[in-house]
Amino acid sequence: MTDDPVLSVSGLERSFGGITALDGVDVTVGQGITGLIGPNGAGKTTFFNCITGYLDPDGGTVEFQGTDVTGKRTPSIVREGLVRTFQIPRELENMTVRENLLLAPSGQSGEKLGRAWLRGGAFAEDERRSRREAEEMAEFFELDHLLDEPAGSLSGGQRKLLELARVLLTEPEMVLLDEPLAGVNPTLEKKILDRIHELESQGLTFLFVEHDIELIMEHCDHVVVMHQGRKLTEGPPSAVRSDQRVIDAYLGEEL
C-alpha cells in the first residue's frame, strides 16, 4: 500500500429510526486490497451505501482521492472513479448480457444520451467502441457465449462475473466488492480473484466485504473490522485474526 489514502472516511454516521447503523466510523483505505469484515449487522453494507451515494450519511465526511464526495449522488461518485458492484436489478434480468454490459451502471445512460445528442456523429464511433469493449470484457470473464442470453438466465456465479464486468467497464480507480464470491463455484472464484490481483497490480484499489474469513485472510493486504457500527480494529490479516476483541465480537463464530 502507498502512504497516500485513496479513500478517507471520517466520523461517518447513519441511523435508521432508532437503530444506529454507523456510529462515527473512521476508515482510511490505501492502494491495494483491503478487507472489511464484521459480524452480521456490523454496518458494512450501510457503510458501502453511504460512501457510494446510495444513502445519505447523517454525519461525517467521505473523501475520495482528495475530493470531498460526501452526500454526492452515485453517478457523480462513479465519475470520480469510485464504484461498487451491485446485484443486477430485476428489471435488467430480461435484457441480454450484452445490453447489461452496454448500460453504464447507476443511471448514467441519461447523461450518455445527452452527450450523444450534442456530439452527433461521434456517437456511432463511441457506440462501436463501447460494443467492442463490452465484448472483450465478456470474453475475459468467459461470458461471451452468453452475450445474447437474458441476464436472468445466468447462474449465480456468472451473475457475479457480469456484475464485476459491468463496474470494470466504468474504468474505476476503486471498486467496492460486496461479497463478490457468494454462490460462485471454485473455478470462477479463482478467476475472479486472479483478475482482482491483476487489476490491483495495475494500480486499482479494492475494498472487499466477504463473510468467508479465509478468503479475506489470504487475499487482502490489510483488514478493517467493524462491530456495532464502529471500527473495532484494523491491521494485517494475521494480527486481526488473533486479536481478542475480534474473536469476542464474533462470539465463537469460526474465524
Ligand X SMILES: Nc1ncnc2c1ncn2[C@@H]1O[C@H](COP(=O)(O)OP(=O)(O)OP(=O)(O)O)[C@@H](O)[C@H]1O
**Which residues are near ligand X by CB under 6 A?**
16, 19, 21, 38, 40-46
Nearer to ligand X, 189 or 210 (CB): 210
- CB contact at 8 A, 104 and 29: no
* CA nearest neighbour of 162 among 142, 189, 182: 142
d(CA 108, CA 99): 14
Tell me if residue 30 falls in helix, strand or coil: coil
d(CA 25, CA 125): 45
Least Å distance between CB 237 and ligand X?
Answer: 19
Tell me if residue 253 falls in helix, strand or coil: coil
Q: Which cell numbers hold the place of 40?
A: 452480521
- CB contact at 8 A, 142 and 161: yes
Least Å distance between CB 63 and ligand X?
Answer: 21
Nearer to ligand X, 36 or 167 (CB): 36
Query: What residue type is 58 in one-letter code?
Result: D
Least Å distance between CB 106 and ligand X?
Answer: 19
Nearer to ligand X, 43 or 105 (CB): 43
Least Å distance between CB 247 and ligand X?
Answer: 17
Q: Which cell numbers hold the place of 129?
A: 467502441
Least Å distance between CB 213 and ligand X?
Answer: 12
Say which residue the cell 490481483 belongs to: 197
* CA nearest neighbour of 232 among 249, 215, 251: 249
Least Å distance between CB 166 and ligand X?
Answer: 21
d(CA 6, CA 76): 17
Nearer to ligand X, 134 or 246 (CB): 246
Least Å distance between CB 158 and ligand X?
Answer: 23
**Is residue 119 classed exposed, middle or buried when 0-12, 13-18 and 19+ CB atoms within 10 A define those classes?**
exposed
Nearer to ligand X, 18 or 66 (CB): 18
Nearer to ligand X, 8 or 46 (CB): 46
Nearer to ligand X, 44 or 231 (CB): 44
Count other C-beta atoms under 10 Å from residue 237's C-beta. Answer: 18
